[in-house]
Amino acid sequence: MVAQQQTGDLRHARTGIELRPGLDGVPATQSAICDIDGEQGLLTYRGYPMQDLAANSSFLETAYLLIWGELPSRDQLAEFEHAVQMHRRVSFRVRDMMKCFPASGHPMDALQSSAASLGLFYSRRAIDDPQYIYDAVVRLIAKIPTMVAAFQLIRKGQDPIQPRDDLAYSANFLYMLTEREPDPLAARIFDRCLMLHAEHSLNASTFSARVTASTLTDPYAVVASAVGTLAGPLHGGANEDVLAPCSSRRAVPRTLALSWMRPSRPSAKSWASATGNTR
């Protein structure tokens, strides 16, 4: 039961606890993972400015940084990249399930269902086992691009194509999506787009994931919950509304794209030395 005080505050009649609709102004947690300064246009991951990461890192290296808190060594990054590469393929049963999805279905709905289905194959409800968590993280990072690309082809009446082990993470996704090897510049730009979207602090989908994870369910259900939240038009779905006007504009000139992608900091060797990363 809620009572309204003379000050206009809403409080529980018995406990006196103030009601904050939508948790407005209520800090939910503290995090050292990400910091966003919208007014200044600054984004940092684990203390590293995004512009430095974009110039010198990759999506998988950045994902490693976000998940485990430190930039990987050369050997750690190679091991992580190899693990992701080895888990790109999805079970034929998952592909058969996706073929039953209506062609008119929304890709985010297909992704949510497909991500949840991974739990049927790999979930052990062993969240206290670090190796299980590591394997789940690797599988989700590796298989989600494959499932997204598969649905795109299936909804067009085509069979999905297998990942290529000789292509890097972002280039392989574009290959599976378009059925042709992408231009290296396009792959590089897409890789940086993934980095920019990798972490945005405690937004709605992250909050949803934390609530789901707090019940001690498996990581696949956690990600499926976050995907469902992300799909809403007041969250990630807003990006979809931008596509129509953007698609009517001329393509960005290659020279402009190249200048945007040119590193603004020292070489990768200097970057590794400056950060203590000896990979």
Q: What is the pLDDT of residues 129-150, one digit of tens each?
A: 999 999 999 999 999 999 999 9
Q: Is the pLDDT of residue 272 over 70?
A: no
Tens-digit pLDDT profile for residues 87-101: 999 999 999 999 999
Band (252; pLDDT cuts 50, 70, 90) = low
Residue 169 carries which side chain, given as an amino acid letter?
Y
Mean pLDDT to the nearest integer, 159-183: 95
Least confident of 53-62, 134-143, 198-207: 198-207
CA of 123: how far to CAs of 96, 219, 222, in Å?
20, 8, 12
Residues 6+ apart with CB under 8 A from 240: 233
Cα(72)–Cα(79) distance, integer angstroms: 10
Question: Model-level pTM greater than 0.85?
Answer: no
Neighbours of 94 (CB within 10 A): 20
CA distance 161 to 177: 9
The per-residue pLDDT for range 3-52, each reduced to its tens digit, is 454 445 777 777 778 877 777 777 778 888 999 888 888 999 999 999 99
CA distances 208 to 3, 76, 116, 221, 230, Å, are 28, 30, 15, 11, 9
In this structure, are residues 185 and 84 in contact, taking their beta carbons and an 8 Å threshold? no
- Please give the structure tokens belonging to residue 166: 């000789």
Q: Measure CA of the first residue to CA of the last residue in the chain; give whole Å.
A: 59
Residue 158 has what pLDDT? 94
What pLDDT does residue 268 have?
38
Q: Is 81 exposed, middle or buried (0-12, 13-18, 19+ CB in 10 A)?
A: middle
Map residue 5 onto helix, strand or coil. Answer: coil
Mean pLDDT across 41-69: 95
With bands split at pLDDT 50, 70 and 90, how would you rate the model's confidence at 182?
very high
**Burial status of residue 230 (CB atoms within 10 A of its CB: 0-12, 13-18, 19 or more):** buried
Residues ≥6 apart with Cβ < 8 Å to 145: 88, 169, 172, 173, 176
